[in-house]
Amino acid sequence: MQMVSQTRISPRQQRQWFTVTRERREQQHWVLWCKGVRTGYVNLKGEYQGELQGQAIADAGLYLGNSTVRHPMLAVAAALSQLDQGFDRLNIGCIRTLVRENNSSALRLNEQLGYRLIGQECGFFALELLPADYYAARERLRRFFR
């Protein structure tokens, strides 16, 4: 998965981002751990200020680093965890995401997760996922986690 912004972030900018972000109730951010190693990051951001819980629409971000524990099912596991949180626990009505047009792996994975294409702009595809589509897709994907 690729960050939307590809610009370099300084340590100071990162600390500022962290300070601001942890105060925002319409966003939730999670670090992905695998075998004791931090290997990625996911977030959900509601479209309105206020609690993320129950929002009609949220944007999803998912990023994996090149860690020593990265494996072929990591992106799938990360996405399922993120979407379970979004739909099962936070009762979000619809989850949207942006994927670079040239990121074919992310597009293929999102399609498997039930996302549908809703637009295309500035080198990105806009995708949308509804709970019913996710739950149908989840049943197919969960067979690989026994």
Partner 1 sequence: MTIALEQVFAEALGIDIGGVSDGLAYNSIPQWDSVAHMGLIAQLEDHYGVLLDTDDIIDMSSVGKAREILAKYGASL
- In the complex with partner 1, the residue whose CB is nearer, 29 or 70, is 70
Could you tell me the maximum CA-CA distance found in the chain, to the nearest angstrom?
43
Q: Interface with partner 1 by CB under 8 A: which residues?
A: 70-76, 104-105, 108-109, 112, 141, 144-146
C-alpha 53/C-alpha 86 separation (Å) is: 9
Q: Residue 71 half-sphere exposure, CB side, CA atoms within 13 Å?
A: 10
Give whichever of 15 and 116 is closer to partner 1, judged by the CB atom: 116
CB 17 within 8 A of CB 7: no
Nearer to partner 1, 4 or 73 (CB): 73
- Minimum distance of partner 1 from residue 15's CB (angstroms): 32
Report whether 99 contacts 127 (CB < 8 A): yes
Shorter beta-carbon distance to partner 1: residue 92 or 113: 113
Question: Is residue 96 exposed (0-12), middle (13-18) or buried (19+ Cβ within 10 Å)?
Answer: middle
Q: Give least dist CB 117 to partner 1, A.
A: 16
Query: Which distant-in-sequence residues (6+ apart) come within 8 Å of 109 by Cβ?
Result: 75, 76, 79
Cβ proximity to partner 1: between 52 and 80 the closer is 80
- Sequence letter at residue 24: R
What is the nearest approach in angstroms of partner 1 to the Cβ of residue 35? 10
- Rounded Cα distance between 112 and 115, Å, is 7
Q: Shortest approach of partner 1 to residue 94 CB, angstroms?
A: 23
Shortest Cβ 105–partner 1 spacing (Å): 4
